[in-house]
Chains A and B, each alone.
Chain A
Amino acid sequence: MFDRDTGGASIELRALTKHYPGQPAPAVDHVDLDIPAGELVVFVGPSGCGKTTTMKMINRLVEPTSGEIRIGGEDVLSLHPDELRRHIGYAIQQVGLFPHLTIGQNIGLVPNLLGWSAAKTADRVEELLSLVNLEASAFHDRYPRELSGGQQQRVGVARALAADPPVMLMDEPFGATDPITREHLQNEFVKLQKQLRKTIIFVTHDFEEAIKLGDRIAVLKERSHIAQYDTPANILANPADDYVAGFIGADATLKRLALLRVADVECGQQPGSANLPQIAADASLREALDVMLAHGTDRCGSPSGVLTYGALCEAVGTEPAPAPRLQSVGSGSTPVRTAPVPDAARGEAVGT
């Protein structure tokens, strides 16, 4: 099958259509999409636009009405559905762990279906538990009901990864967790994917999540029509239409800053950077801007030099406004002092 290379396989959708019986219109209508091997593509769109249906046709939990699906060049519709699914990782919002089986047994399910030896499965389960940051000795023999929501989600991801499938389908896998846990799981998942380079289709209705996780984003509208399919940076910089722009929201530039690292921009070596508020090299430019705003300054120090407001503007492709225009910001007649501000901030930063 397509999983001889577990590092990811390309996915092609051609005129993929699903018309549920008894429905007036198709839920998914002639979708064409190419997903390169090893990339994480996020389907994002409003509830009911057909994200789940599109995804479930790929592992044939939903049988397409018409169209073609190829994974690694292989025609998916000619394979046996159960056999196909054993080679595609699948994680869902409700997790769906089996409560009567231990965590170890849950993770070992697909390896068992594939006929792996008990020893190989046991090793793999151990490896996966540590991959998702759960201590094997503590979790292997526990039952799903004894775990928190976030821990269950991790087990869900481990179970989907169990047989090292080249392709993973994930339907809002972090959707049911609280914001803090979700953020944590997202960060871990980004790291994990950097390491694994699987081909992943990730469904969400949360655009922030899409930006954070996606190598590419497919913004979907009704009937799964693709409004735009591009990298997060390109979608934020050049939304294809009002629909996409509306989905991004009013803070597109801030979202673009969030995608960039401090380490990615040129920092001027300037004397006195030690007196500036400091920002870490792996922080985002959005966080750098936050530091500048919080300290009322237009520059902050990073390990590689001084990061200026101008550099932030350049990073998102805009010209920094000249100083006189900055003065007009404020309440009309009151003149705004610009020059002394950095000094004041500098003073505060060193605590004098």
Chain B
Amino acid sequence: MNFSEYVVSRWDTLSLAAGEHALVVGVAIGVSTAVGVGIGLLAHDLPKTRGISLAISAAILTVPSLALLTLLIPITGLGWGSTLVALTAYAFLPIIRNTVAGLRGVDASMVEAGRGMGMSRTRVLLKVRLPLAWPLILTGVRVATQMLIGIAAIAAYVDGPGLGTQIFEGLSRLGSVNALNATLAGTLGIVVIAVLFDLFFFAVRQLTIPRGLRVRS
């Protein structure tokens, strides 16, 4: 069986796995963005809180994914639970770091003008800092997504969802029938998912970045 015949014959399994792969990444990124941007908003102006949240999210990222997934099994079990928790945790660093950098990078004169006109601190944060930081925040989310798409494949080891199963099954019986096809299909599927997510973020950029920030200066 050549590669295309393999893909056609296993289409149902492959498309389900790909769908689950995208879904688990999407959910993890959604949760991580909501929580991470929230932490960034709260912590950007508090040096201690900011330092601690950045240190913790950086520490998480240094734990090898296989180790983290295994450590989570006693708590969140095999499958979706541990996969989601691990992926969400890994995404924090790029999201929190870019949120904090974006919010803090806003020109001081804009904050001064806003405060000087009688905007409250919170209003300046939500109506001035956040929109101006948004392009950088989106970049952080996009980088985190690309990272998670790769890490999600490892989740196959804890019986998680996604295309990892294809890849590792193939690798484990390399030389036997369809082993290479399975690995190749899983890998290609991941590439396709990565490209689709990138297209999605391109659209989000176009739709959500204020026009005034996109015009030439």
B113 touches A146 (CB 8 A): no
**When chains A and B are docked, how far (Å) is the Cα of A146 from the Cα of B210?**
14
Q: Pick from A38-46, A92-100, A241-249, A293-301 the stretch touching chain B.
A: A92-100
Task: Mark out the residues of chain B between 196 and 217 whose CB falls within 8 Å of any chain A CB in the assembled complex.
Answer: 210-213, 215-217
Collect the chain A residues with CB atoms within 8 Å of residue B107's CB.
94, 96
Whether B112 lies near A96 (C-beta < 8 A) is yes
Partner of A96, one of B109, B120, B215: B109
Contacting pair B113 A97 (CB below 8 A): yes
CB within 8 Å for A145 and B115 given contacts A82-B120, A92-B109, A102-B212: no
Shortest C-beta distance, A166 to chain B (Å), equals: 15
Q: How many B residues are at the interface, by size bracket?
A: 20 to 34
B215: chain A residues at CB < 8 Å are: 143, 145-146
Bound state CA distance, A159 and B116, in angstroms? 11
Check B212 against A90 for contact (C-beta < 8 Å): no
A84 and B211 in contact, given A95-B109, A95-B113 (Cβ under 8 angstroms)? no
A113 within 8 Å of B by Cβ? yes
B-facing residues in A49-98 (Cβ within 8 Å): 59, 61, 82-87, 90, 92, 94-98
Query: Shortest Cβ distance from A110 into chain B, in angstroms?
Result: 5
Q: Are B212 and A145 in contact (CB under 8 A)?
A: yes
- Binary contact readout A224-262 vs B (1 if CB under 8 angstroms, 0 otherwise): 000000000000000000000000000000000000000
The interface residues of chain B lying within 8 Å CB-to-CB of A349 are none
Residues of A within 8 Å of B132, CB to CB, are 98-100
B116-A144 in contact (CB<8A): no
* Residues from chain A with Cβ under 8 Å of B117 in the complex: 85-86, 90, 109-110, 113, 159
Contact partners of B110 in chain A: CB under 8 A: 96-98
Contact A83 B118 (CB under 8 A): yes
Q: Mark B109-144, 1 if CB is under 8 A from A, else 0.
A: 110111111111000000010011000000000000
- Nearest Cβ distance between residue A265 and chain B, in whole angstroms? 43
In the assembled complex, which residues on chain A have CB atoms less than 8 Å from the CB atom of B116? Answer: 59, 61, 85, 90, 92, 96, 169
Contact B112 A82 (CB under 8 A): no
Q: How far is the CA of A342 from the CA of B119 in the complex (A)?
A: 64
Can you list 26 A-B contacts with CB-CB less than 8 angstroms, sorted by A residue number? A59-B116, A61-B112, A82-B119, A82-B120, A84-B118, A86-B117, A86-B118, A87-B118, A92-B109, A92-B113, A94-B107, A94-B113, A96-B110, A96-B113, A96-B114, A96-B116, A98-B113, A99-B212, A100-B132, A100-B213, A102-B212, A110-B117, A113-B118, A143-B212, A145-B215, A146-B216
Interface, chain B (partner A; CB < 8 A): 107, 109-110, 112-120, 128, 131-132, 210-213, 215-217
6 closest residue pairs by CB, A with B: A96-B113, A86-B118, A94-B109, A143-B212, A85-B118, A100-B210
Q: With A96-B116, A169-B116 given, name 14 new contacts (CB 8 A).
A: A61-B116, A90-B116, A94-B109, A94-B113, A95-B109, A96-B107, A96-B109, A96-B110, A96-B114, A97-B110, A97-B113, A109-B119, A143-B212, A146-B216
